[in-house]
Amino acid sequence: MKRKMRLITSVLALTMATSALTACGSDTKKDAANTPAPGKTADAGAKDTITALLPPVSPNFQKTFDQISKEFTEKYPNLTLKIEPASWEDVKQKLDTQVNAGSPPDIAFGGSETIPKYLQQGLLMDISDVITPEMSGDYDKTPLEYMKKGNALYGLPAYMEVHALGGNKEFLEKAGIDWKKIQQNGWTYDEFREAIKKGVVKEGDKTRYGFVFATKGVAAIDYLAIMAKNAGMPHKFTKDMKYAYTSKNYLGLLKDLRQLIDDGSMPKELSSVDAGKRWNMLLTGQTMVTGKGLAVFENSAKTNNAKIKANDGSAVKDSIPLDYIVLPAPTFQGAKASSSTVVDGYLTFRGKKDPTAEHKANVMKAAYFLSSGKVAATTNNDLFAAQITQSGKKEAANMKVDRNPDNIAAVENMLKNATPARSDIPTELEAKAIKLETEVIIPKLQAVLAGELKPEAMYEAVKAAAIQTFGADGVVKD
């Protein structure tokens, strides 16, 4: 009888142990599904450090770095997130230097359009094999597609926004411009040209311009690239992989952009205007319309307005109250609107040697932590950008956002015409296009804007370089 009881007790103990193990296994799977750990629980694994190079994504983003690192380690006690801050002007140079040395950070914030460039250098890390369905399912489909090349995934998106223009409401209305109509229906180049002429005001030796766009430094290519999408060239390559910037539309666009300077609507010194100066000119009343403009500018304007009202000396010098209005870019030569959509995010890199499976999974955890949930919700609210993850939307539900409803509607309207992602363009073609852009297009555009080169001469130079790069049959001929 005693032997029988011992046998029953042993069976019961084994059954309970098996049940406990099964329960633990279920909890582990559940935890893995609800955390950014691909197949691992938050406290599993050896100690590891993930490095990240991050610019001021939003006005307050860099102020939260210590808190972000702390909360990441609280979630993953064995992991450390080491963040290196950089300015917008410096981040590209720092990243390029590190990539060229073969020792990039694990994560760097950058535009999805730079993926071909870094992919060509062989140091981007495909994370498609470590991202879980729960994680990938957290993102809106479209922005996630921007981070792909073929079936490979090279990072996670932080936001999807439209490169728009921005205007001073008071100046627009004084010039008799129906900005609400423009927000909903857009405007052609001819309509835009006449409108910004009305915004030019001369007072003594001072001039308020109708339009200013940053064309120096990190913004050197933005002006041309954004406008080209609205000029019948939504991508650098057509669907049959012909380089698009040899089109007659490209020459027409160059002429139009130069014409705005010749009209006096834009400053002759436009080629020296960087992103900071462009924004200061709008804040100080030196221009009616500016570009490129993101939704965050409305928030930045409100913040500066509060400083002006408080008279505490912290506002931008000589700035005036600004009611910021979102405006679409004009369309050129009868082309359909194709809004320049920006998807920036956390690109994932590897060094010269393949990372261990565990380190790769840890980089994935960090990228997901930065681009979802509380971090994403806080950053995107600060940017006035839409949340693109379900976890971010949930966290943002109770966060207040003081945003002009007309601007919200304008952005939503532009997103309807957003330029779609093109993951089908071969990496080698995109890399060659970026090289052509860097070596030919940017310096030639600077010369056109400075009045040192005719648009026709730039067009011929780009055309010749394109034929040399892609071959006579690899470019658009129209």
pTM of the model: 0.76
**Chain Cα centroid distance, residue 130:** 24
Decide which of 411, 443, 463 is a domain's last residue: 411
User: Do 195 and 129 fall within a single domain?
Assistant: no
Nearest-angstrom CA–CA distance, 409 and 416: 11
- Domain assignment present for 90: yes
Q: Which of 411, 437, 455 is the last residue of a domain?
A: 411
Indicate if 218 and 272 belong to the same structural domain.
yes
Are 168 and 154 within one domain?
A: no
Cβ neighbors of 248 (< 8 A, separation 6 or more) are 478
Same domain assignment for residues 315 and 381: no
The DSSP secondary structure of 196-221, one letter per residue, reads HHHT-EEETTEEEEEEEE--SGGGTT
Do 255 and 244 have their domain in common? yes
Shared-domain flag, residues 190 and 294 = yes
pLDDT, tens digit only, all 478 positions of the chain: 434 344 334 433 333 333 333 333 333 333 333 344 433 344 457 999 999 999 999 989 999 999 999 999 999 999 999 999 999 878 989 999 999 999 999 999 999 989 988 988 899 999 999 999 999 999 998 899 999 998 899 999 999 989 999 999 999 999 999 999 999 999 999 999 999 999 999 988 899 999 999 999 878 999 999 999 999 999 999 999 999 999 999 999 999 999 999 999 999 999 999 999 999 999 999 999 999 988 889 989 999 999 999 999 999 999 999 999 999 999 999 999 999 988 999 999 998 889 999 999 999 999 999 999 999 999 999 888 889 999 999 999 989 888 999 999 999 899 889 898 888 899 899 989 999 999 999 999 999 999 999 999 999 999 999 999 999 999 999 9
Same domain for 104 and 243, yes or no, is no
Residues 379 and 468 in one domain: no
Q: Tokens for 199?
A: 């915004």
Whether residue 270 is contained in a domain is answered as yes
134 within domain boundaries: yes
In a domain, 52, yes or no: yes
In a domain, residue 395? The reply is yes
Q: Judge if 190 and 275 occupy the same domain.
A: yes
Q: What is the CATH number of the domain that holds 390?
A: 3.40.190.10
Spatial separation of the C-alpha atoms in residues 97 and 32, rounded to whole Å: 36
Regarding whether 248 and 115 lie in a shared domain, the answer is: no
CB 388 within 8 A of CB 140: yes
Residue 263 forms part of a structural domain: yes
Asked if residue 42 belongs to a domain, the reply is no
Which pLDDT belongs to residue 44?
Answer: 58
Residue 80, in any domain of the structure: yes
Cα 192 from Cα 257, distance rounded (Å): 11
Q: Is the domain of 104 the same as that of 75? A: yes
Q: DSSP letters of 295-326?
A: THHHHHHHHHHHHHHHT-S-SPTT-----EEE
The answer on 138 and 76 residing in a single domain is: yes
In terms of residue numbers, what domain contains 395?
48-161+342-411
Count up the domains in the chain and report the number: 2
